Copies of this chain bind each other. A is one copy, B any other.
């Protein structure tokens, strides 16, 4: 007998039938002898409906009152789910964030969990009671309700799994696992059986929006065994863990594209210390997040610094740099947003330098031009023309999954 934390997203609890389905998953796990803590999001569109109600009254409502409002969504889904489990004849109790002991900092709408005081949870589990916990929320030191922001319920679930030393944390969602590429756009995309935390982190940041990075980071830090699976199919999903089984044929776990990218090239800066500091501290001061950074080799005592940012920040970045031209010293700033980032991720890559070459070969064969390259231990990213992005992902996916086979 073990302890399993199960998290169900908004689409999994959207109506009465779906709540009954979630209740069945929970009680089947319980009947197999496990203790179960289930963390639920708000039903389907509840959060959006509540936000619309608030906007009608005050478009600039304080985040404190927004959190007070939005936290009701999970309280509704959790009590309804508990009722469904009662109807099946199992012992169950639903708990709000504060009842379950979630203590956060005071950053309303994007609070961070400081600790979970688990006395109540443990008391209920010791009675062999199924516990349903509201995701996404806690209270701060003033006893005010806070919400955790995007991906909050995943984070709630992983935090509970970590602090309760759960054997497994299952994230139920509307997809049935992590794929080698987006199955909606890439032919032959396959579900992975396992993936490492680091690969998952790289994939999440590349736009594979299955798990929020905060929850994966926390899972990695506390070594929580994660599984991503569908609440509708009943099939095994993808396990996310520290080390995955030995990979026979491929060192690439996934191919992802991110279209929310703009490139900025600062051309002709002096080849002297401090330039990168000047540019990037300026951007940081204005909360502009920089992703890839490349610095060209100098020529005639000048060099070029290129980097990528979100498309929404492109104009502001150009204006900021030109405003400080005399301080930074450069020839000109070129910007472009008709580009996309395509990346391969795989923990095995570090020991296989040929992987990057194979990616480039795939792009060359497909006649796709590469504007920028960046590599890390478990990732290779390239910038390509926006129009080439889908073809690029398919070509790379074909390369690794037809020549080397599926790792999953």
Contacts and interface: CB of A to CB of B under 8 A. Distances in A.
A402 interface: no
Interface residues of chain A: helix, strand, loop or mixed (majority): helix
A64 B124 CA distance: 15
A317 interface: no
Interface in A137-162: 143-145
A65 interface: yes
A127 to B, nearest CB: 12
A53 B69 contact: no
Q: How many copies does the complex hold?
A: 2
B57 A68 contact: no
B72 A75 contact: yes
Interface in A28-65: 50, 53-54, 56-58, 60-62, 64-65
Interface in A54-92: 54, 56-58, 60-62, 64-66, 68-69, 71-72, 75-76, 78-80, 82-84, 86-87
Given A53-B80, A144-B99, A86 B68 contact: no
A65 B94 contact: yes
Counting contact residues on chain A (CB < 8 A from B), the size range is: 35 or more
A62 B83 contact: yes
A324 interface: no
A332 interface: no
A325 interface: no
Contacts of A251: none
A384 interface: no
Contacts of A71: 75
A286 interface: no
Interface string A274-296: 00000000000000000000000
A80 B69 contact: yes
A187 B94 CA distance: 52
Nearest to A84: B57
A60 B76 contact: no
Interface of A: 16, 19-20, 50, 53-54, 56-58, 60-62, 64-66, 68-69, 71-72, 75-76, 78-80, 82-84, 86-87, 93-94, 96, 98-99, 120, 143-145
